[in-house]
Structure 1
Amino acid sequence: MPASENLPPPLAAALARTAEAVTAHIDGAIAESGAPGERLAAAMRHATLAGGKRLRPFLVLETAALFGVRADAAMPAAAALECIHCYSLVHDDLPAMDDDELRRGQPTVHRAFDEATAILAGDGLLTLAFEILAREDTGPYGDVDARVRLALVASLARAAGVAGMIGGQMLDLAAEGRFGEGGLDPAPLDLPAEAIIELQAMKTGALLRQACEAGALLGGASPAERASLDRYARAVGRAFQIADDLLDVEGEAALVGKALGKDAAAGKATLVGRLGIDGARSELARLVGEAEAALSGFGTAATLLVEAAYFVAYRRN
């Protein structure tokens, strides 16, 4: 499988279509959001419209397509998930969290605007996501059964909440040694590999799993089909984080679009740190095989999802 800058043409085209459609949908949602003045809306656009792989919405659309769901009917679920992802990046970049100055090759929201505006822009995207999901007047999505829409709201809330992304971020901060307990000074935790896997499954993997769960919910997948897609998503989520950690060690800042080497400097617990570079690469290969095997029951209909697993594992940005 080629590296990410030499994507198979069908996958490259599908990612480009997704990016264009999701960007337009989110831009329209921000325009209709009622944000007062221009500053808040501009900050929300800066967070969401300045590029990005749009991998999570791609997974929503592609898993839904396995069951014959049209892209325009799945688009609200895809756009809502991307709003959640972008809000999390805005807050992760804040001085109180990772204190990053670059995101996707551009100034982070708190640098382009200010810290207070960045906090509110993130909050705005978080709440906008659920407004998008709950609306009944968004094209073919309005025809989606209300019970399915409710299930999508619950699924996204779980994945983004304390049992998912937010909880994982809290564990990540604790692992860095941000919080002293029992009168002890803060110090990085020496986590075993199993604890790192659990942390990353919450912080990074939860939203990727939700993407595939959303497609399965929209498509009325059977329990067996949902289980297969969840196995795929779990493997892809782990591969994504390992690849991200490898990029922090080996990547080129100009390609990655953000500062590198910060994990080691912050004392972050990563599987690359536990397994070493060669061990991490071996684990990536194993996870890609696991993801591909999970989709075997879908045949050639899942070709793009298989290619996406390789893209996740071997990307350079």
Structure 2
Amino acid sequence: MKYSLFAGGKRLRPILMIETCRALEGDVNVIMPLALGMEMLHTYSLIHDDLPAMDNDDLRRGKPTNHKMFGEATAILAGDGLLNFGVETMLQGTKGLSGERLSNYIGAMKIIMSASGINGMIGGQVADMLSEERVISLEEMDYIHLHKTSALLEACVQSGCIIARAEPATQGRLISYSQRIGLAFQIVDDILDIEGNEEELGKPVGSDEKNHKSTFVSLYGMEASKLKVAELEHEAVGMLKPIGVNTNFLEKLARYICQRQK
């Protein structure tokens, strides 16, 4: 569990959660256990993604994948352990909370668990596996991206909004922002799987082709994919402008996601 959790990575999801809360002047100490739990959930999903039964990858974050280090059985259990310990960690954050603060915290946790489950990440992963060996429609592609990748990013933003007690209009704009950066994140992943440098990425390139997966690039080409990312970046930043609080970090984060090289 420690091997994968502390192997590096961008920590994008907890950072997004914390910085959304901070921008809205919420209590960062309250949201911290949710952010820690979120990173554990994300890491468990990566361990399982890399298994031979799924993407069958040998490298993650520049190091041998968990099953390459410890064997498949231990890797499965390490993923299971991170999932359970992530929930434990989030539940520990309820200590000392009461009334509206407690109900908001539980509400945020429910959103996180739903986004990581069958109606979010896992549902998207199933659809992604079922898309192998065939050409899929744009609607199916959007479903995969919005559930497999975007759902957790959206949950991070929603959690930050809930803990900070954001107004509905503000929450709506930030959710729209998260959906755009989530979709952009996955399209950039598809681009880097073709054009990226394995040493810089810290994981193998060409995995999608190896697994015969349809991607935005395979369906629409490289140029159209890059144009779509630029469009999503512009829209995401535009969603932040009318909010009326300091969203400079969230704007920079959107630009980083869309322009990243790893």
* TM-score between both structures, scaled by the size of structure 1: 0.79
Which runs of no fewer than 5 residues in structure 2 stay unpaired? none
Aligned partner of 1:284 in structure 2 is 229
CA distance in 1, matches of 2:116, 2:33: 17
User: Which residue in the other structure is 1:50 paired with?
Assistant: 7
Correspondent of 2:215 among 270, 282, 287: 270
* Partner of residue 41, structure 2: 84
Contact 2:154 2:175 in 1 (8 A): yes
Q: CA RMSD in A?
A: 1.5
Residue among 103, 116, 130 paired with 2:60: 103
**Letter in structure 1 aligned against 2:131:** A
* Aligned mate of 1:160, from 112, 116, 119: 116
Structure 1: unaligned runs, 5 residues or longer: 1-43, 177-187
Q: Distance in 2 between matches of 1:73 and 1:132?
A: 12
Work out whether residues 155 and 210 of structure 1, in 8 Å CA contact, stay in contact via their aligned partners in 2: yes
Provide the rounded CA distance (Å) in 2 between the counterparts of 1:155 and 1:137.
15
Matched letter for residue 213 of structure 1? Q
- What is the 5 A alignment of 1:140-289? 142=97, 145-176=101-132, 188-289=133-234
Matched, 1:64 2:21: yes
Distance 2:58 2:246 in 1: 41
2:51 to 89, 94, 97: 94
Return the TM-score normalized by structure 2.
0.96
Q: Which has the larger radius of gyration?
A: 1
Count of residue pairs the alignment pairs up: 261
Per mean C-alpha deviation after superposition, the further-off stretch among 238-247 and 62-71 is 62-71
> Would the alpha carbon gap of residues 101 and 223 (structure 1) be closer, same or farther in structure 2, given more than 3 Å must change?
same
Amino acid at match of 1:72: N
Report if aligned partners of 1:133, 1:152 keep a CA contact under 8 Å in 2: no
Select the residue among 88, 94, 116 that pairs with 2:73.
116
Greater CA drift, 118-127 or 147-156? 147-156
Distance 2:197 2:209 in 1: 16
Supply the AA of the counterpart residue of 1:240. Answer: F
Aligned AA for 1:201? L
C-alpha change, 1:76 and 1:290, in structure 2 (3 Å) is same
Instruction: Provide, for residues 84-142 of structure 1, a one-character-per-residue CA deviation record: whole Å limited to 9, x for no partner.
Output: 1000000001111111111000011111111111111111111111111111476xx75
Give me the identity figure in percent. 38
